[in-house]
Chains A and B, each alone.
Chain A
Amino acid sequence: MAITNDVNELDKVPLLRLKSIGKKYGEFSALDDVELDIFSGRIHCMLGENGAGKSTLCKIIYGEEVASSGSMLYAGNDYEPLAPADALANGIAMVHQHFSLIHNMSVYENLMLGYVSGVLDVAEFVSYLINLSKRYGLDIDPYSRVSELSVGQQQRVEILKCLMREPRLLILDEPTAVLLPDEIDALLTTCKQIVAEGRSIVLVTHKLAEISRVADEVTVLRGGKQVMQCEFSEEQVDAMISAMIGSEIAISDLRLAGLSLAENIDVIATTNNDEKSADRKASQCMIIDDLSFVDERGNQCLSNITLEIKAGEIHGLAGVEGNGQTELGDILAGLSMPTSGRLYMPDFELTHATPSQITAAGVGIVPENRHRVGCIEELDLTENLLLSSIKNYSRFGLLNRKAMRDAAKILIDRFDVRAPSADVGFNNLSGGNQQKAVLAREISIESLRFLLAAHPTRGLDIGAVFAVYEHIRNSAKAGVGVLLISSELDELIAVCEKISVIYRGQIVGTLPADPQYRDQIGALMSGSGIQQRHSA
């Protein structure tokens, strides 16, 4: 049922107007004087790098957070939501970056929650769901358990959850981060359909590529401030990039670093191009041979993975999240055992090795989720830096805190971890510094020979991203073999020499990390097969 409204009339009065919105967490200012107008029937894209305040702004609109200052007007009336229920009552719905589905329940149960009351009529609701999903092209099986769905499918459920309430405004927070390229297409098409009915969409993203396809209006946030708002046009793209990043760093440097901003960035030769020669006779560093892994639920997460990383080589593993990278990372870290196949270095058999044996063999792991695998936030910085080498500081069972502090200081200096002191609680550090600390620990492993870096720059600000790339490159120069797992194609092309693509647990191809292969690699990531011709 489309909202029948006079579109011209609506164009003049914004559906949602934000006036001088500010948000402070103690001393820290997450948002400062943000003004925003959102109109009906339009897609408004919110652009900004990680930490710019986009999610905070969405939470305020959706009632999950309350603004410290400023006001909002919705359909001309004062709008001060104190809880999501208020937002929902006003016809505002949100699909979060991290889904809030109940894994042990079925799709229809998840969707009925808070929507129907009284005795449940499952059959009727299911048929309603099926109709709804057809209308928007969001194909889903209502009876399936959420835990069995893929990430893309789960997102469809989340979107349906919102659409059921016939929202006038739909907020999508980084929806494409977890999708395959063709799923992204489908989503953007769905967005256009939703908006055609007279609804509005706020699309939060840091990917310029998507914006170019659907945006009507664009707002750029940086450091909590709104630095640009305009109607979208191609000519404005460069201005948007610089607004997003700020003028301290020249655009050309950005393109060199290969940040994933635009699809058509020309990656000019990096300073390391000379060393990217494919003929280097380097020795083998890490061999993954025919590795397979079946998890406890019986899912075949990895099938016959074969990879060879040479010393001093930065080898990329491209793939959208959820295609087996996590499981591979866990196996390399020694946290789980492969079901079949081998994992070894020239003089170390690592297939069934424990984490400490793996570390002793000179393997460093920068995990994709440092909070789960890489660090213990409640401990302090020193303890985290020395977590894997704690035995070296223990005499007769007692810890030598002074020696620990000294060793930690050395690492802190060398890796430029910004912290008030070595004893500060780890969770008091910013994300970027936490990641630097984890990197510091892993790179400083005695006789490091292999480094796994999984999504190492995710969620980091520009400065930290550069630092990470620099450390990785330095390690490679020193002869360490690096496996860089990432879903950001531009990052991989800029940093790596070779890129293998993982799709549904299998290696579907290996190509040189050169911009000319970009489309092919992308196609492999989406599972479209090895032989693919794209028009430029």
Chain B
Amino acid sequence: MEEQIALFIASMIRLAMPLMLASTGELVSERAGVLNLSLEGMMLLGAFFASYGTYVTGSPVMGILIGVLLVLPVALLQAFLSVTLRANQLVVGIGFNLIALGVTTLSYREIFGPLSRVSLPGFDPVHVPWLSDIPFIGTALFSQNILMYVGLVIIVAIWFTLTRTSIGLAIRAMGENPRSADQAGLSVFKYRYGAVLFTGAMAGLAGGFLSVGDIHTFTENMTNGAGYLALAAVIFGNWSVWKTVGACLLFGAATSLQFQLPGWGIDVPTAWLLMLPYILALVAVAGLVGRVEQPVALSIPYRRN
């Protein structure tokens, strides 16, 4: 029983990790006022580029870096469309997701052949000395692969920057009232571009985690809605960093239960567990669990006139 719970926690964290990376990254954009529906597409591209990079260089670290780097131009294009051209952010997001799906599927088939499943070198678990010896949850929490720790550090950095630094203040202002920020002498374009690029990098990292870090391979459309789930987590987390992380853990738990519950003799239709994150997000955005703190200027392009 203990072991099962430890397993459950470990798998919950593992499943939640890509969500946490993507959603905290998206959080930064949304606090700055930009909605990236293309999160799904960017994660998928990240997953693909990271696997390709690992395959070519043989090193998972290089692979992940390549994954992140190659997503950045995509994020730049997204920023250009959403911020400079002031295009409808919905439309842009959907378009990008379509392109990403097409490009990754096409490239995967061309490069790796339609049927073979490439197995990539992955990450060994890193054992945090002494902490990972804590009975019961030690292994679960402190023997994960290195990306996890890196991810956590990044998330803490996001929280600190957003709440305690002038950059964070500026980002938050962009999402509430970009006109004020502009009149205070801050460049709305620069901050929003920066935020979108950061989101792209995080999405790329999340995708890399999925392919290289987790299952050590790439499959077509492997994100399968994880990007939308990450968006839902931001909503459910009411645009606050730690609540979003909590939401991701919750969603990870729901997904993990899908595999664990049958083993515990509880028979719940898988579909219900898979639906749970979306239902929770819907309940949250309906304002049924408290006041919605959506950034006022979210998805509204800024124009100084």
- Tell whether any CB of A sits under 8 Å from a CB of B in the complex: yes
> Roughly how many angstroms separate A244 CA and B184 CA in the complex, as a whole number?
33
Contact A120 B183 (CB under 8 A): no
List residues of A (107-134) whose CB comes within 8 Å of B's CBs. Answer: 109-110, 112-120
In the complex, the number of residue pairs spanning A and B with C-beta atoms less than 8 Å apart equals 58
Distance (whole angstroms) from the CB of B180 to the closest CB of chain A? 4
* Mask: chain B, 161-181; 1 = CB below 8 Å from A; 0 = not: 000111001101100110111
Q: Are A119 and B165 in contact (CB under 8 A)?
A: yes
Cβ–Cβ contact B176 & A102, under 8 A: yes
B146 within 8 A of partner (CB): no
Bound complex: CA A117 to CA B161 (Å) = 12
Q: From residue A119, how far is it (CB to closest CB) to chain B in Å?
A: 5
Which residues of B149-168 are within 8 A (CB) of A? 164-166
Interface residues on B, range: 20 to 34
For residue A105, CB closer than 8 A to chain B, the reply is yes
User: Is B176 a contact of A112 with CB atoms below 8 Å?
Assistant: no
Instruction: Contacts A104-B296, A118-B166 given; indicate if A84 touches B185 (C-beta within 8 A).
Output: yes
- Which residue of the partner chain A has the closest CB to B172? A105
Fill in one digit per residue for A82-103: 1 if any B CB lies within 8 Å of its CB, else 0: 0111001000000010001111
Instruction: Tell whether B182 is near chain A: CB-to-CB under 8 Å.
Output: yes
**Taking A96-B183, A113-B186 as contacts, is the C-beta distance between A102 and B165 under 8 angstroms?**
no
Shortest CB-to-CB span from B164 to chain A, Å, is 6
The CA of A33 and the CA of B203, in the complex, are separated in Å by 54
Whole-angstrom CA separation of A534 from B14 in the bound complex: 77
Please determine whether B164 and A120 come into contact, CB atoms closer than 8 angstroms: yes
Complex contacts, B173 vs chain A, CB 8 Å: 102, 105, 113
Whether B179 contacts A100 by the Cβ 8 Å rule is yes
* Residues in A whose Cβ lies below 8 Å from that of B176: 102-105
Set of chain A residues within 8 Å of B165, measured between Cβ atoms: 118-120
CB distance A120 to B180 under 8 Å? Answer: no
A93 to chain B, nearest CB (A): 10
Give which listed residue, B164, B181, B296, contacts A113 with CB less than 8 A.
B181
The minimal Cβ–Cβ distance linking A413 to chain B, given in whole angstroms, is 34
Closest residue of chain A to B167, judged by CB?
A: A117
User: A100 contacts which of B164, B166, B172, B183 (Cβ < 8 Å)?
Assistant: B183
A94 and chain B: residue at smallest CB distance? B183
**Alpha-carbon distance A88/B169, docked complex (angstroms):** 19
Q: Measuring CB to CB, which residues of chain B are less than 8 angstroms from any residue of chain A?
A: 164-166, 169-170, 172-173, 176-177, 179-186, 293, 296, 304
Q: Give 15 new A-B contacts, CB below 8 A, not counting A102-B173, A119-B166.
A: A83-B185, A96-B183, A100-B183, A102-B177, A105-B173, A112-B169, A113-B181, A113-B184, A113-B186, A116-B166, A117-B166, A118-B166, A119-B164, A120-B164, A120-B169
